[in-house]
Amino acid sequence: MSAEFRNELQTGWTRFMHGAFECTVVTDGLLHMGPPRDTFPEADVDDLDQLLAHHFLPTESIALNQNVLLVNTGAQLILFDTGVGINQAFGVKTFGPDTGQAIVNMKAAGIDPAAIDIVALTHTHPDHCWGLVDDDDRKLFPNARVAVSRADLDYWTNLDNIKESMSEHMKDHFLGARKNLAPYLDTLMIVEDGKEIVPGVRAQATPGHSPGHMIYEITSRGKTLVCWGDLCHHQVLLLQRPEWAFRFDYDSGAAAATRLSVLDWICREEHEVLSYHFPFPGRGHLRRDGGGYDWLPGEIQLERQAPLPHPTEDLPQLA
């Protein structure tokens, strides 16, 4: 079988129903993180290697998925995070040609980026907000409002927070956030803890990985799907060892404390999860396993379904 034919068979999206909400997950591609011991710098190296080997995962390198969720509520079409984007100076240059696939896969799934009403950001790190603009700083979602926490907006777009001691990559965190958010500033929606951004979608403050990190509870017909962004990056390491730090945590102690609390709540309530960085499409449940958790992935929808019609203008809209 030729490589070209194999590529034609690979899908970059899947669709499922959550209550009355239609959900589509598209991939923005893989983030190649390098050696796991660098990505989880406070982990016990032997424990880390054993956990990976026990789950038949490589011990020399680690890759994280980017699962971008779109939810059609019937009144709003919402995109949760954007991937690293297509900008040559930031996204593709920084993260390589395997990334920046979200727009292509969105269109393949029958969704026009111009139809998106709200881009809800969990936080403003590169792989979550750098997909807002193109190389010419034009909006990739021209009719959308961006929803973001005040803490993340203020911290990551303030270039005074850049220190000479920072790596070029960390400096780009600020430059890229400012570049991508600037065209949307006149229509920004500030996300607040415990408040709905649209009916059925409620934000919950989960600071630590980023100053204003948010997760979103998506509830329809009594079922809740938790879109958790970077609350937990790895389906084995940070579920089995949720107290471990991740390399790019803003405050690793707060991130671990938040993760422990939210994982306990999700498991206790038996909520479904849409995890940004777990194996595609990142949909599943948690089950307790000693002091940690097992990941129980949901079944991928294989039938190719056309998307529901976009919400019409005569339906109620959020002011």
Predicted pLDDT at 156:
98
- 80 closest CA partner among 42, 113, 121: 121
The length of the chain, given as a count of residues: 319
pLDDT of residue 10: 60
DSSP per position, 105-118: HHHHTT--GGG--E
CA distances from 127 to 95, 124, 229, 263, 286 (A): 9, 8, 10, 22, 24
Determine the pLDDT at residue 318: 35
Q: How far apart are CA 119 and CA 122, in angstroms?
A: 10
So what's the pLDDT on residue 314?
39
pLDDT value, residue 6: 47
User: In the CATH scheme, what is the homologous superfamily, with its name and number, of domain 3-295?
Assistant: Ribonuclease Z/Hydroxyacylglutathione hydrolase-like (3.60.15.10)
The two beta strands, 189-191 and 145-149, are: parallel
Q: Give the 3-state secondary structure of 194-234.
A: CCEEECCEEEEECCCCCCCCEEEEEEECCEEEEECCCCCCC
Which tens digits make up the pLDDT trace of 47-81?
999 999 999 999 999 999 999 999 999 999 999 99
Residues of the chain where predicted confidence (pLDDT) is lower than 50: 1-3, 5-7, 9, 312-319
Is the pTM higher than 0.75? The answer reads yes
Quote the CA–CA distance of 117 and 310 in Å, as a whole number: 10
